[in-house]
Amino acid sequence: MQFSNPPFPPSLPPGCKLGVDGGGSKTELILLDPDNLFLGRHTAPGSNPSITGPEAARRTVLEALGALRAKAPCPIAHTLLCMAGARGFWKEFAAELDGFGFVTVFDDARPVLELATNGAPGVVLHSGTGSFVAARALDGSIHYAGGLGWRFGDPGSGYELGRRTLARGLLELQGWATPSRIAAVLRDHTGLADAAALTRFFYQHVEPNKQIAALAPAVLRLAEEGDHTAHKLVVDSAAELLELAGRVVEKLFPGMPPNAIPAGLSGPILTHRVVVAALTPLSPLSLAPLDQPPIEGVRRLLTHG
């Protein structure tokens, strides 16, 4: 899917700038002065409307914007929203904002793409609670692949890795898979040791997606410790996202050697050293883990704008 490239305002009166990176796990904001110098930062809960619900997402971002605006020494001239979830929802939200200057809406892919390619053609693979592949083609157009959300599966994401872990652990507890340390991860996370009780716990929980995604850090630790089952779960999940990135590159950069195309890895799963070591030999792309958070990409976009 290709989405439009909203223009930055061509000319604005001097003023402060607000940038937002809204994801499924957290929402980060940054405040800059008229000379693009850092003034403040604010962190709030996740604001993806597909996860929290539209009203909770709206409330979270409004409160966070207000908290940071209160610290601004001058009026806000430009606000940049880089948000996960339905883009139509955030466009409507932006249209209702008052007192935040000119408001630009981007997808949450844009900051990490900026970090990975610095405005040049290239691709980025990102994994957080969800996952996606974003690319800037040779003609400057921006493209987005995946990001289907936790209900439909985001390969390489925290949720998808947690889902794989849960499925494997339940089979172990049922006696149909070779015992491993994965079952212990489920017991430690929930305090439950019975497959039926675990199934009820996750199906009946009010936020099952968050509970399932919360399994990912423990599985990554096991993989780092050399646990074979955990390592396979992690690599198999991330490899699906890498395969999607390969199809994106093949379509957008026909005839170009893949290793000549900038390819960034973003997010705590894809930049984990176990994942980087496993994916590097699997891909013709020259994968480069990003060492800066998405909010830094928001800052760059605000500065360039």
* Per-residue pLDDT at 10 exceeds 70: no
pTM: 0.85
* Per-residue pLDDT at 4 exceeds 60: no
pLDDT of residue 2: 37
What is the distance of C-alpha 72 from the center of its chain? 28
Tell me the CATH architecture of domain 16-107: 2-Layer Sandwich (3.30)
pLDDT of residue 86: 79
* Per-residue pLDDT at 3 exceeds 70: no
Per residue in 35-56, pLDDT (tens digit) is 999 999 999 999 988 888 899 9
Distance, in Å, from the CA atom of 269 to the CA atom of 285, rounded to the nearest integer, reads 18
Distance, in Å, from the CA atom of 87 to the CA atom of 98, rounded to the nearest integer, reads 19
pLDDT of residue 194: 93
In which order are the strands placed within the sheet that holds 122-127?
142-146, 131-136, 122-127, 262-266, 286-289
Per residue in 92-137, pLDDT (tens digit) is 999 999 999 999 999 888 999 999 999 899 999 999 888 999 999 9
What is the distance of C-alpha 55 from the center of its chain? 21
Per residue in 245-274, pLDDT (tens digit) is 999 999 999 999 999 999 999 999 999 999
pLDDT of residue 9: 65
Sorting pLDDT into bands at 50, 70 and 90, what band is 152?
Answer: confident
Per residue in 20-36, pLDDT (tens digit) is 999 888 999 999 999 99
What is the distance of C-alpha 188 from the center of its chain? 26
Q: Under DSSP, is residue 234 helix (H, G, I), strand (E, B) or coil? A: helix
Tell me the percentage of the chain whose pLDDT exceeds 70: 96
Domain ranges across the chain: 16-107
pLDDT of residue 210: 85
